[in-house]
Structure 1
Amino acid sequence: MKQIKEALASKSSALVAFSGGVDSSTLAALAYEVLGNNALAVTINMHSLPEGELQMAENIAREIGIRHKVIDFDEFNVPEFVENSPKRCYYCKRSILELLLEAAKKEGSEVVIEGTNITEMQGNRPGMQAVAEMNERVISPFLQFSVTREEIRQMAEYMGLSVAKKPSSPCLASRIPYGKKITPEGISRVKSAEKYIFNLGFTQFRVRDHGDVARIEVKSSDFPAVIEKKEGIVNELKRLGFHYVTLDMEGFRSGSLDEVVSK
Protein backbone atom coordinates (compact mmCIF):
# COMPACT_ATOMS: atom_id res chain seq x y z
CA MET A 1 0.00 0.00 0.00
CA LYS A 2 2.90 2.35 0.81
CA GLN A 3 4.43 1.86 -2.66
CA ILE A 4 1.12 2.63 -4.37
CA LYS A 5 0.62 5.80 -2.33
CA GLU A 6 4.17 6.93 -3.12
CA ALA A 7 3.55 6.34 -6.84
CA LEU A 8 0.30 8.32 -6.68
CA ALA A 9 1.96 11.10 -4.69
CA SER A 10 4.41 11.59 -7.56
CA LYS A 11 1.50 12.83 -9.68
CA SER A 12 0.07 16.32 -9.36
CA SER A 13 -3.46 15.04 -10.00
CA ALA A 14 -5.27 11.89 -11.14
CA LEU A 15 -8.55 10.78 -12.65
CA VAL A 16 -9.67 7.40 -11.30
CA ALA A 17 -11.65 5.06 -13.57
CA PHE A 18 -14.30 4.34 -10.96
CA SER A 19 -16.92 1.58 -11.18
CA GLY A 20 -17.64 1.43 -7.46
CA GLY A 21 -16.32 -2.13 -7.18
CA VAL A 22 -13.72 -3.09 -4.60
CA ASP A 23 -10.71 -2.55 -6.90
CA SER A 24 -11.57 0.92 -8.17
CA SER A 25 -12.94 1.98 -4.77
CA THR A 26 -9.71 0.99 -3.03
CA LEU A 27 -7.69 2.84 -5.69
CA ALA A 28 -9.94 5.90 -5.36
CA ALA A 29 -9.56 5.88 -1.56
CA LEU A 30 -5.76 5.70 -1.87
CA ALA A 31 -5.74 8.48 -4.48
CA TYR A 32 -7.95 10.69 -2.30
CA GLU A 33 -5.77 10.04 0.75
CA VAL A 34 -2.68 11.18 -1.15
CA LEU A 35 -4.02 13.81 -3.57
CA GLY A 36 -7.14 15.12 -1.83
CA ASN A 37 -9.26 17.24 -4.16
CA ASN A 38 -6.71 16.74 -6.95
CA ALA A 39 -8.15 13.23 -7.28
CA LEU A 40 -11.34 12.80 -9.29
CA ALA A 41 -13.37 9.60 -9.60
CA VAL A 42 -15.21 9.20 -12.91
CA THR A 43 -17.90 6.58 -13.48
CA ILE A 44 -18.93 5.60 -17.00
CA ASN A 45 -22.69 5.12 -17.15
CA MET A 46 -23.57 2.69 -19.92
CA HIS A 47 -26.52 0.48 -20.92
CA SER A 48 -24.73 -2.72 -19.92
CA LEU A 49 -24.00 -1.54 -16.38
CA PRO A 50 -25.69 -4.01 -13.98
CA GLU A 51 -28.72 -2.82 -12.05
CA GLY A 52 -27.83 -0.69 -9.03
CA GLU A 53 -24.14 -0.29 -9.87
CA LEU A 54 -24.34 3.44 -10.67
CA GLN A 55 -26.07 4.16 -7.36
CA MET A 56 -23.47 2.02 -5.58
CA ALA A 57 -20.67 4.06 -7.20
CA GLU A 58 -22.28 7.33 -6.13
CA ASN A 59 -22.68 6.03 -2.57
CA ILE A 60 -19.10 4.79 -2.20
CA ALA A 61 -17.69 8.01 -3.70
CA ARG A 62 -19.52 9.94 -0.97
CA GLU A 63 -18.23 7.46 1.61
CA ILE A 64 -14.64 8.04 0.47
CA GLY A 65 -15.11 11.79 0.13
CA ILE A 66 -13.60 11.96 -3.34
CA ARG A 67 -14.93 14.27 -6.05
CA HIS A 68 -17.13 12.25 -8.39
CA LYS A 69 -18.38 12.71 -11.92
CA VAL A 70 -20.62 10.51 -14.10
CA ILE A 71 -20.16 10.41 -17.88
CA ASP A 72 -22.77 8.78 -20.13
CA PHE A 73 -21.50 6.40 -22.80
CA ASP A 74 -23.52 4.56 -25.46
CA GLU A 75 -21.63 1.38 -26.17
CA PHE A 76 -24.04 0.55 -29.01
CA ASN A 77 -22.27 3.22 -31.04
CA VAL A 78 -19.20 0.93 -31.05
CA PRO A 79 -19.83 -1.55 -33.92
CA GLU A 80 -17.29 -4.07 -32.60
CA PHE A 81 -19.14 -4.13 -29.26
CA VAL A 82 -22.40 -5.01 -31.00
CA GLU A 83 -20.69 -7.69 -33.14
CA ASN A 84 -19.49 -9.35 -29.91
CA SER A 85 -16.33 -11.12 -31.01
CA PRO A 86 -13.89 -12.48 -28.38
CA LYS A 87 -12.13 -9.08 -28.66
CA ARG A 88 -15.29 -7.18 -27.69
CA CYS A 89 -13.79 -5.97 -24.42
CA TYR A 90 -10.78 -4.51 -26.23
CA TYR A 91 -12.90 -2.25 -28.43
CA CYS A 92 -15.21 -1.22 -25.61
CA LYS A 93 -12.34 -0.59 -23.17
CA ARG A 94 -10.46 1.47 -25.76
CA SER A 95 -13.51 3.67 -26.34
CA ILE A 96 -14.00 4.14 -22.59
CA LEU A 97 -10.33 4.97 -22.01
CA GLU A 98 -10.43 7.55 -24.78
CA LEU A 99 -13.46 9.10 -23.07
CA LEU A 100 -11.63 9.13 -19.72
CA LEU A 101 -8.50 10.66 -21.26
CA GLU A 102 -10.65 13.37 -22.81
CA ALA A 103 -12.25 14.01 -19.41
CA ALA A 104 -8.82 14.09 -17.76
CA LYS A 105 -7.68 16.73 -20.25
CA LYS A 106 -10.74 18.88 -19.52
CA GLU A 107 -10.31 18.48 -15.76
CA GLY A 108 -6.57 19.11 -15.85
CA SER A 109 -5.75 15.67 -14.44
CA GLU A 110 -2.19 14.55 -15.10
CA VAL A 111 -2.99 10.87 -15.50
CA VAL A 112 -5.80 8.31 -15.64
CA ILE A 113 -5.47 5.42 -13.18
CA GLU A 114 -7.42 2.18 -13.32
CA GLY A 115 -7.78 -0.75 -10.96
CA THR A 116 -6.97 -3.97 -12.82
CA ASN A 117 -5.16 -6.36 -10.44
CA ILE A 118 -2.63 -9.10 -11.11
CA THR A 119 -5.16 -11.87 -10.41
CA GLU A 120 -7.30 -10.68 -13.33
CA MET A 121 -4.48 -11.22 -15.80
CA GLN A 122 -5.23 -14.95 -15.91
CA GLY A 123 -7.37 -16.07 -18.86
CA ASN A 124 -8.81 -14.00 -21.70
CA ARG A 125 -8.16 -10.27 -21.00
CA PRO A 126 -8.39 -8.38 -24.32
CA GLY A 127 -9.30 -5.17 -22.47
CA MET A 128 -5.77 -4.96 -21.10
CA GLN A 129 -4.42 -4.57 -24.64
CA ALA A 130 -6.29 -1.27 -24.79
CA VAL A 131 -4.69 -0.15 -21.52
CA ALA A 132 -1.22 -1.10 -22.80
CA GLU A 133 -1.77 0.90 -25.99
CA MET A 134 -2.35 4.06 -23.98
CA ASN A 135 1.35 4.09 -23.03
CA GLU A 136 1.86 6.03 -19.79
CA ARG A 137 -1.32 8.07 -20.09
CA VAL A 138 -3.24 5.28 -18.30
CA ILE A 139 -1.62 3.65 -15.26
CA SER A 140 -2.58 0.43 -13.45
CA PRO A 141 -0.94 0.63 -9.98
CA PHE A 142 -2.16 -2.79 -8.83
CA LEU A 143 -0.50 -4.38 -11.85
CA GLN A 144 2.62 -2.29 -11.45
CA PHE A 145 3.12 -3.60 -7.90
CA SER A 146 1.67 -7.10 -8.51
CA VAL A 147 -1.24 -6.70 -6.09
CA THR A 148 -3.74 -9.58 -5.98
CA ARG A 149 -7.52 -9.38 -5.63
CA GLU A 150 -7.33 -10.76 -2.10
CA GLU A 151 -4.73 -8.17 -1.09
CA ILE A 152 -6.98 -5.40 -2.44
CA ARG A 153 -9.87 -6.72 -0.35
CA GLN A 154 -7.59 -6.69 2.68
CA MET A 155 -6.66 -3.06 1.93
CA ALA A 156 -10.33 -2.14 1.55
CA GLU A 157 -11.17 -3.79 4.86
CA TYR A 158 -8.24 -2.05 6.57
CA MET A 159 -9.50 1.30 5.26
CA GLY A 160 -13.04 0.49 6.39
CA LEU A 161 -14.62 0.57 2.93
CA SER A 162 -18.14 -0.85 2.81
CA VAL A 163 -17.41 -2.59 -0.53
CA ALA A 164 -14.56 -4.73 0.89
CA LYS A 165 -16.56 -7.94 0.41
CA LYS A 166 -18.63 -6.86 -2.59
CA PRO A 167 -18.70 -9.52 -5.36
CA SER A 168 -17.40 -8.48 -8.76
CA SER A 169 -20.05 -7.32 -11.22
CA PRO A 170 -18.77 -7.09 -14.80
CA CYS A 171 -20.82 -5.51 -17.58
CA LEU A 172 -23.92 -7.35 -18.77
CA ALA A 173 -22.43 -7.99 -22.21
CA SER A 174 -20.39 -10.72 -20.49
CA ARG A 175 -23.64 -12.70 -20.13
CA ILE A 176 -24.05 -13.07 -23.91
CA PRO A 177 -22.02 -15.71 -25.83
CA TYR A 178 -19.45 -14.46 -28.33
CA GLY A 179 -20.77 -14.31 -31.87
CA LYS A 180 -24.31 -13.44 -30.83
CA LYS A 181 -25.00 -9.77 -31.58
CA ILE A 182 -25.60 -7.60 -28.54
CA THR A 183 -28.80 -5.58 -28.64
CA PRO A 184 -30.40 -3.11 -26.20
CA GLU A 185 -33.26 -5.60 -25.83
CA GLY A 186 -30.86 -8.42 -24.95
CA ILE A 187 -29.05 -6.33 -22.36
CA SER A 188 -32.38 -5.19 -20.89
CA ARG A 189 -33.61 -8.80 -20.62
CA VAL A 190 -30.50 -9.96 -18.78
CA LYS A 191 -30.63 -6.92 -16.50
CA SER A 192 -34.26 -7.64 -15.57
CA ALA A 193 -33.55 -11.34 -15.02
CA GLU A 194 -30.60 -10.63 -12.71
CA LYS A 195 -32.51 -7.93 -10.85
CA TYR A 196 -35.26 -10.45 -10.10
CA ILE A 197 -32.81 -13.07 -8.82
CA PHE A 198 -30.89 -10.48 -6.79
CA ASN A 199 -34.14 -9.44 -5.11
CA LEU A 200 -34.63 -13.07 -4.04
CA GLY A 201 -31.50 -12.70 -1.89
CA PHE A 202 -28.77 -14.14 -4.15
CA THR A 203 -25.58 -12.08 -4.38
CA GLN A 204 -23.09 -14.07 -6.45
CA PHE A 205 -24.65 -15.34 -9.66
CA ARG A 206 -25.00 -14.78 -13.41
CA VAL A 207 -27.82 -15.25 -15.93
CA ARG A 208 -26.22 -16.23 -19.24
CA ASP A 209 -28.36 -15.56 -22.31
CA HIS A 210 -28.20 -18.41 -24.84
CA GLY A 211 -31.10 -17.22 -26.98
CA ASP A 212 -34.10 -19.33 -25.99
CA VAL A 213 -32.18 -20.68 -22.99
CA ALA A 214 -31.34 -18.85 -19.76
CA ARG A 215 -28.41 -20.56 -18.00
CA ILE A 216 -28.27 -19.58 -14.33
CA GLU A 217 -24.97 -19.82 -12.47
CA VAL A 218 -25.03 -19.65 -8.66
CA LYS A 219 -22.68 -20.92 -5.98
CA SER A 220 -23.14 -24.64 -5.36
CA SER A 221 -24.20 -23.87 -1.80
CA ASP A 222 -27.13 -21.86 -3.24
CA PHE A 223 -28.50 -24.74 -5.33
CA PRO A 224 -31.11 -25.76 -2.71
CA ALA A 225 -32.39 -22.18 -2.43
CA VAL A 226 -32.71 -21.89 -6.22
CA ILE A 227 -34.65 -25.16 -6.41
CA GLU A 228 -36.89 -23.96 -3.59
CA LYS A 229 -37.68 -20.77 -5.55
CA LYS A 230 -37.63 -22.34 -9.00
CA GLU A 231 -41.30 -21.76 -9.83
CA GLY A 232 -41.04 -17.99 -9.46
CA ILE A 233 -37.68 -17.88 -11.27
CA VAL A 234 -38.96 -19.95 -14.20
CA ASN A 235 -42.14 -17.92 -14.52
CA GLU A 236 -40.30 -14.60 -14.45
CA LEU A 237 -37.59 -15.59 -16.93
CA LYS A 238 -40.17 -17.05 -19.31
CA ARG A 239 -42.12 -13.82 -19.00
CA LEU A 240 -38.94 -12.05 -20.13
CA GLY A 241 -38.84 -14.17 -23.27
CA PHE A 242 -36.71 -17.21 -22.45
CA HIS A 243 -38.26 -20.54 -23.48
CA TYR A 244 -36.09 -22.70 -21.22
CA VAL A 245 -34.55 -21.97 -17.82
CA THR A 246 -31.58 -24.09 -16.69
CA LEU A 247 -29.34 -24.29 -13.62
CA ASP A 248 -25.65 -24.79 -14.48
CA MET A 249 -24.47 -27.78 -12.45
CA GLU A 250 -20.87 -26.50 -12.47
CA GLY A 251 -22.01 -23.54 -10.39
CA PHE A 252 -20.94 -19.91 -10.50
CA ARG A 253 -17.62 -19.08 -12.14
CA SER A 254 -16.56 -15.71 -13.42
CA GLY A 255 -15.97 -15.56 -17.17
CA SER A 256 -17.51 -18.93 -17.99
CA LEU A 257 -18.19 -17.83 -21.58
CA ASP A 258 -14.43 -17.51 -22.08
CA GLU A 259 -14.11 -21.27 -21.59
CA VAL A 260 -15.14 -21.75 -25.20
CA VAL A 261 -12.47 -19.29 -26.37
CA SER A 262 -9.72 -21.02 -24.36
CA LYS A 263 -10.63 -24.36 -25.91
Structure 2
Amino acid sequence: MANSEDKFNAVRDMLRGSGTLVAFSGGVDSTVLALLAKEAAAKVVLLTVLSQVVPAADHASAEMVARELSITHRVVTFDWLGQKELSRNREDRCYQCKRALGRLWLTEASKMGLSRVVEGTTASETEGRRPGLRALAELGIESPLLKAGIRKEEVRTFARANGLSVHNRPSMACLATRFPYGTTITAEGLSAVAQMESAAREILGVVCVRARAHGDVARLEIAPQEMERAFDIDRLRALDEAGRKAGFKYVTIDARGYRTGSMDE
Protein backbone atom coordinates (compact mmCIF):
# COMPACT_ATOMS: atom_id res chain seq x y z
CA MET A 1 0.00 0.00 0.00
CA ALA A 2 1.39 3.40 -0.99
CA ASN A 3 2.24 5.82 1.79
CA SER A 4 0.81 9.32 1.86
CA GLU A 5 3.86 10.94 0.30
CA ASP A 6 3.71 8.54 -2.65
CA LYS A 7 0.01 9.28 -3.10
CA PHE A 8 0.53 13.04 -3.21
CA ASN A 9 3.42 12.59 -5.64
CA ALA A 10 1.08 10.53 -7.81
CA VAL A 11 -1.33 13.47 -7.94
CA ARG A 12 1.51 15.80 -8.94
CA ASP A 13 2.41 13.38 -11.73
CA MET A 14 -1.20 13.34 -12.95
CA LEU A 15 -1.24 17.13 -13.15
CA ARG A 16 2.27 17.73 -14.43
CA GLY A 17 2.62 20.02 -17.42
CA SER A 18 -1.05 20.58 -18.17
CA GLY A 19 -3.17 23.71 -18.09
CA THR A 20 -5.56 22.98 -15.25
CA LEU A 21 -8.79 24.44 -13.94
CA VAL A 22 -9.47 23.51 -10.31
CA ALA A 23 -13.10 23.54 -9.17
CA PHE A 24 -12.49 25.53 -6.02
CA SER A 25 -14.75 25.85 -2.98
CA GLY A 26 -12.08 27.01 -0.54
CA GLY A 27 -12.49 23.84 1.52
CA VAL A 28 -9.54 21.72 2.58
CA ASP A 29 -9.84 19.22 -0.29
CA SER A 30 -9.94 21.69 -3.17
CA THR A 31 -7.27 23.81 -1.46
CA VAL A 32 -4.83 20.90 -1.21
CA LEU A 33 -5.59 19.96 -4.82
CA ALA A 34 -4.96 23.57 -5.86
CA LEU A 35 -1.59 23.59 -4.10
CA LEU A 36 -0.56 20.34 -5.79
CA ALA A 37 -1.63 21.73 -9.16
CA LYS A 38 0.38 24.89 -8.52
CA GLU A 39 3.45 22.75 -7.87
CA ALA A 40 3.03 20.59 -10.98
CA ALA A 41 0.81 22.06 -13.68
CA ALA A 42 1.94 24.46 -16.40
CA LYS A 43 -0.90 26.86 -15.64
CA VAL A 44 -3.54 26.82 -12.91
CA VAL A 45 -6.78 28.75 -12.50
CA LEU A 46 -9.14 28.32 -9.57
CA LEU A 47 -12.83 28.59 -10.40
CA THR A 48 -15.46 29.26 -7.74
CA VAL A 49 -19.14 29.05 -8.60
CA LEU A 50 -21.47 31.35 -6.69
CA SER A 51 -24.98 29.96 -6.25
CA GLN A 52 -27.89 30.07 -3.85
CA VAL A 53 -27.09 26.65 -2.34
CA VAL A 54 -23.66 27.70 -1.05
CA PRO A 55 -23.55 29.88 2.09
CA ALA A 56 -22.15 33.38 1.61
CA ALA A 57 -19.46 32.67 4.22
CA ASP A 58 -18.10 29.88 2.01
CA HIS A 59 -17.83 32.27 -0.94
CA ALA A 60 -15.83 34.73 1.18
CA SER A 61 -13.59 31.93 2.44
CA ALA A 62 -12.80 30.81 -1.11
CA GLU A 63 -11.60 34.29 -2.01
CA MET A 64 -9.41 34.47 1.10
CA VAL A 65 -7.83 31.06 0.53
CA ALA A 66 -7.17 31.79 -3.15
CA ARG A 67 -5.20 34.86 -2.08
CA GLU A 68 -3.33 32.73 0.44
CA LEU A 69 -2.32 30.34 -2.35
CA SER A 70 -1.40 33.17 -4.75
CA ILE A 71 -3.18 31.43 -7.62
CA THR A 72 -5.35 33.11 -10.24
CA HIS A 73 -8.96 32.96 -9.08
CA ARG A 74 -12.07 33.37 -11.18
CA VAL A 75 -15.66 33.57 -9.94
CA VAL A 76 -18.81 32.83 -11.94
CA THR A 77 -22.47 32.90 -10.95
CA PHE A 78 -24.85 29.98 -11.41
CA ASP A 79 -28.61 30.47 -10.95
CA TRP A 80 -29.27 27.18 -9.16
CA LEU A 81 -32.86 27.98 -8.25
CA GLY A 82 -33.56 28.89 -11.85
CA GLN A 83 -32.86 25.30 -12.94
CA LYS A 84 -36.18 23.49 -12.49
CA GLU A 85 -34.57 20.05 -12.70
CA LEU A 86 -32.62 21.03 -9.58
CA SER A 87 -35.04 23.09 -7.50
CA ARG A 88 -37.85 20.52 -7.77
CA ASN A 89 -35.48 18.25 -5.81
CA ARG A 90 -36.02 14.83 -7.34
CA GLU A 91 -33.86 11.88 -6.32
CA ASP A 92 -31.50 12.55 -9.23
CA ARG A 93 -30.86 16.13 -8.05
CA CYS A 94 -27.20 15.55 -7.17
CA TYR A 95 -26.52 13.91 -10.54
CA GLN A 96 -28.22 16.72 -12.45
CA CYS A 97 -26.47 19.37 -10.36
CA LYS A 98 -23.01 17.94 -10.90
CA ARG A 99 -23.69 17.62 -14.64
CA ALA A 100 -24.72 21.27 -14.81
CA LEU A 101 -21.71 22.40 -12.78
CA GLY A 102 -19.37 20.16 -14.74
CA ARG A 103 -20.51 21.64 -18.02
CA LEU A 104 -20.01 25.11 -16.59
CA TRP A 105 -16.47 24.22 -15.48
CA LEU A 106 -15.66 22.81 -18.92
CA THR A 107 -17.01 25.90 -20.66
CA GLU A 108 -14.92 28.21 -18.50
CA ALA A 109 -11.82 26.04 -18.93
CA SER A 110 -12.22 26.18 -22.71
CA LYS A 111 -12.50 29.97 -22.61
CA MET A 112 -9.21 30.12 -20.71
CA GLY A 113 -7.40 27.61 -22.91
CA LEU A 114 -7.10 25.02 -20.15
CA SER A 115 -7.17 21.37 -21.19
CA ARG A 116 -7.97 19.73 -17.85
CA VAL A 117 -10.66 20.19 -15.19
CA VAL A 118 -10.16 18.63 -11.76
CA GLU A 119 -12.14 18.55 -8.52
CA GLY A 120 -11.37 17.52 -4.96
CA THR A 121 -13.36 14.40 -4.08
CA THR A 122 -11.30 12.10 -1.82
CA ALA A 123 -11.26 8.34 -1.27
CA SER A 124 -13.24 8.88 1.94
CA GLU A 125 -16.28 9.97 -0.07
CA THR A 126 -17.12 6.84 -2.04
CA GLU A 127 -19.56 5.20 0.39
CA GLY A 128 -23.31 5.48 -0.07
CA ARG A 129 -25.05 7.10 -3.03
CA ARG A 130 -22.61 9.20 -5.05
CA PRO A 131 -24.41 10.02 -8.30
CA GLY A 132 -22.43 13.25 -8.62
CA LEU A 133 -19.21 11.30 -9.16
CA ARG A 134 -20.83 9.40 -12.02
CA ALA A 135 -21.90 12.67 -13.64
CA LEU A 136 -18.39 14.10 -13.44
CA ALA A 137 -16.80 10.94 -14.82
CA GLU A 138 -19.19 11.02 -17.78
CA LEU A 139 -17.98 14.55 -18.58
CA GLY A 140 -14.30 13.64 -18.32
CA ILE A 141 -13.72 15.69 -15.18
CA GLU A 142 -11.00 14.18 -13.04
CA SER A 143 -10.81 13.53 -9.29
CA PRO A 144 -7.05 13.11 -8.70
CA LEU A 145 -7.21 12.76 -4.90
CA LEU A 146 -9.75 9.96 -5.27
CA LYS A 147 -7.75 8.27 -8.03
CA ALA A 148 -4.62 8.31 -5.86
CA GLY A 149 -6.52 6.78 -2.93
CA ILE A 150 -6.02 9.81 -0.69
CA ARG A 151 -8.35 9.89 2.30
CA LYS A 152 -9.70 12.91 4.17
CA GLU A 153 -7.39 12.52 7.15
CA GLU A 154 -4.38 12.46 4.80
CA VAL A 155 -5.61 15.67 3.16
CA ARG A 156 -5.86 17.39 6.54
CA THR A 157 -2.41 16.18 7.60
CA PHE A 158 -0.92 17.46 4.33
CA ALA A 159 -2.70 20.80 4.70
CA ARG A 160 -1.47 21.21 8.27
CA ALA A 161 2.11 20.32 7.30
CA ASN A 162 2.00 22.92 4.53
CA GLY A 163 0.63 25.66 6.75
CA LEU A 164 -2.74 25.94 5.03
CA SER A 165 -5.26 27.86 7.12
CA VAL A 166 -8.11 25.53 6.14
CA HIS A 167 -6.51 22.36 7.53
CA ASN A 168 -9.19 21.98 10.21
CA ARG A 169 -12.13 23.51 8.37
CA PRO A 170 -15.20 21.26 8.67
CA SER A 171 -16.64 19.68 5.56
CA MET A 172 -19.73 21.37 4.18
CA ALA A 173 -22.30 19.97 1.78
CA CYS A 174 -24.48 22.23 -0.33
CA LEU A 175 -27.64 23.49 1.34
CA ALA A 176 -29.83 21.49 -1.05
CA THR A 177 -28.97 18.38 1.00
CA ARG A 178 -31.03 19.74 3.90
CA PHE A 179 -34.37 18.96 2.23
CA PRO A 180 -36.19 15.65 1.69
CA TYR A 181 -36.48 14.58 -1.94
CA GLY A 182 -39.70 15.85 -3.47
CA THR A 183 -39.70 19.05 -1.43
CA THR A 184 -39.32 22.02 -3.76
CA ILE A 185 -36.30 24.08 -2.76
CA THR A 186 -36.88 27.82 -2.52
CA ALA A 187 -34.83 30.88 -1.63
CA GLU A 188 -36.81 31.16 1.60
CA GLY A 189 -36.10 27.55 2.54
CA LEU A 190 -32.39 27.91 1.85
CA SER A 191 -32.25 31.09 3.92
CA ALA A 192 -34.05 29.37 6.80
CA VAL A 193 -31.66 26.42 7.05
CA ALA A 194 -28.58 28.65 6.66
CA GLN A 195 -29.87 30.94 9.42
CA MET A 196 -30.70 27.99 11.68
CA GLU A 197 -27.26 26.41 11.26
CA SER A 198 -25.46 29.69 11.89
CA ALA A 199 -27.49 30.23 15.07
CA ALA A 200 -26.87 26.65 16.26
CA ARG A 201 -23.12 27.00 15.83
CA GLU A 202 -23.15 30.26 17.79
CA ILE A 203 -25.49 29.08 20.57
CA LEU A 204 -23.94 25.66 21.09
CA GLY A 205 -20.33 26.41 20.20
CA VAL A 206 -20.24 23.37 17.89
CA VAL A 207 -18.38 22.95 14.62
CA CYS A 208 -20.47 20.35 12.79
CA VAL A 209 -24.23 20.85 12.57
CA ARG A 210 -26.84 20.38 9.85
CA ALA A 211 -30.41 21.72 9.93
CA ARG A 212 -32.57 19.27 7.99
CA ALA A 213 -35.86 20.91 7.06
CA HIS A 214 -39.03 18.84 7.36
CA GLY A 215 -41.77 21.38 6.73
CA ASP A 216 -42.02 23.51 9.86
CA VAL A 217 -39.57 21.27 11.77
CA ALA A 218 -35.80 21.83 11.84
CA ARG A 219 -34.06 18.55 12.70
CA LEU A 220 -30.57 19.35 13.95
CA GLU A 221 -27.84 16.79 13.34
CA ILE A 222 -24.82 17.49 15.55
CA ALA A 223 -21.50 15.63 15.51
CA PRO A 224 -21.76 12.89 18.20
CA GLN A 225 -18.71 14.17 20.07
CA GLU A 226 -20.36 17.60 20.35
CA MET A 227 -23.94 16.57 21.12
CA GLU A 228 -23.71 16.99 24.89
CA ARG A 229 -23.43 20.74 24.36
CA ALA A 230 -27.06 20.78 23.23
CA PHE A 231 -28.45 19.34 26.46
CA ASP A 232 -28.66 22.52 28.47
CA ILE A 233 -32.05 24.09 29.10
CA ASP A 234 -30.92 27.65 28.35
CA ARG A 235 -29.28 26.59 25.09
CA LEU A 236 -32.34 24.60 24.08
CA ARG A 237 -34.55 27.62 24.69
CA ALA A 238 -32.19 29.76 22.64
CA LEU A 239 -32.32 27.19 19.82
CA ASP A 240 -36.11 27.23 19.92
CA GLU A 241 -36.16 31.01 19.68
CA ALA A 242 -33.62 30.97 16.84
CA GLY A 243 -35.69 28.39 14.99
CA ARG A 244 -38.80 30.53 15.20
CA LYS A 245 -36.87 33.53 13.91
CA ALA A 246 -35.66 31.41 11.00
CA GLY A 247 -39.23 30.40 10.17
CA PHE A 248 -39.54 27.00 11.85
CA LYS A 249 -42.27 26.08 14.31
CA TYR A 250 -40.28 23.33 16.02
CA VAL A 251 -36.58 22.53 16.53
CA THR A 252 -35.52 18.96 17.34
CA ILE A 253 -32.18 17.27 18.07
CA ASP A 254 -31.54 14.07 16.10
CA ALA A 255 -30.50 11.40 18.64
CA ARG A 256 -28.23 9.70 16.09
CA GLY A 257 -26.23 12.84 15.47
CA TYR A 258 -24.65 13.97 12.23
CA ARG A 259 -24.06 11.48 9.44
CA THR A 260 -23.49 11.93 5.74
CA GLY A 261 -26.46 11.37 3.48
CA SER A 262 -29.17 11.08 6.12
CA MET A 263 -31.77 12.21 3.57
CA ASP A 264 -31.01 9.00 1.62
CA GLU A 265 -31.96 6.80 4.57
Q: Same fold (TM over 0.5)?
A: yes
Q: How does 1:82-231 map to 2 (within 5 A)?
A: 82-135=87-140, 138-200=141-203, 201-228=205-232, 229-231=235-237
Contact (CA 8 Å) 1:78, 1:92: kept in 2 or not? no
Q: Which residue of 2 aligns with 1:42?
A: 47
The alpha-carbon deviation at position 220 of structure 1 amounts to 2.9
Write the deviation string for residues 166-200 of structure 1: whole angstroms up to 9, x where unpaired.
Answer: 11001000111111111111111111111212233
Aligned CA-pair RMSD: 1.3
Query: SS of the residue aligned with 1:85?
Result: coil
Contact (CA 8 Å) 2:17, 2:40: kept in 1 or not? no
CA–CA distance in structure 2, aligned partners of residues 73 and 252 of structure 1: 29
List 4+ stretches of structure 1 deviating above 3 A: none
CA–CA distance in structure 2, aligned partners of residues 221 and 126 of structure 1: 29
Q: Which residue of 2 aligns with 1:7?
A: 14
Q: 2:69 aligns with which of 42, 64, 71?
A: 64
Change in 2 beyond 3 A, CA 1:204/1:239: same
Q: Which residue of 1 aligns with 2:5?
A: none
Write the deviation string for residues 209-233 of structure 1: whole angstroms up to 9, x where unpaired.
Answer: 0011110111233333223211111
The alpha-carbon deviation at position 51 of structure 1 amounts to 4.0
Amino-acid identity (%): 40
Query: SS of the residue aligned with 1:245?
Result: strand
Query: SS of the residue aligned with 2:41?
Result: helix
Q: Does 1:236 align with 2:242?
A: yes
What is the TM-score with the length of structure 1 in the denominator?
0.93
Given residue 34 of structure 1, which amino acid in structure 2 is its aligned partner? A
Q: Which residue of 1 aligns with 2:38?
A: 32
The alpha-carbon deviation at position 39 of structure 1 amounts to 0.4
Given residue 15 of structure 2, which amino acid in structure 1 is its aligned partner? L
The alpha-carbon deviation at position 245 of structure 1 amounts to 0.9
CA–CA distance in structure 2, aligned partners of residues 156 and 122 of structure 1: 23
Q: How does 1:16-31 map to 2 (within 5 A)?
A: 16-31=22-37
Given residue 9 of structure 2, which amino acid in structure 1 is its aligned partner? K
Tell me whether 168-177 or 224-233 shows the greater mean CA deviation.
224-233
The alpha-carbon deviation at position 119 of structure 1 amounts to 1.5
Aligned length in residues: 255
The alpha-carbon deviation at position 9 of structure 1 amounts to 0.8
Query: SS of the residue aligned with 2:262?
Result: coil
CA–CA distance in structure 2, aligned partners of residues 241 and 100 of structure 1: 35
Write the deviation string for residues 114-157 of structure 1: whole angstroms up to 9, x where unpaired.
Answer: 1111221110111112111113xx21111221221122222212
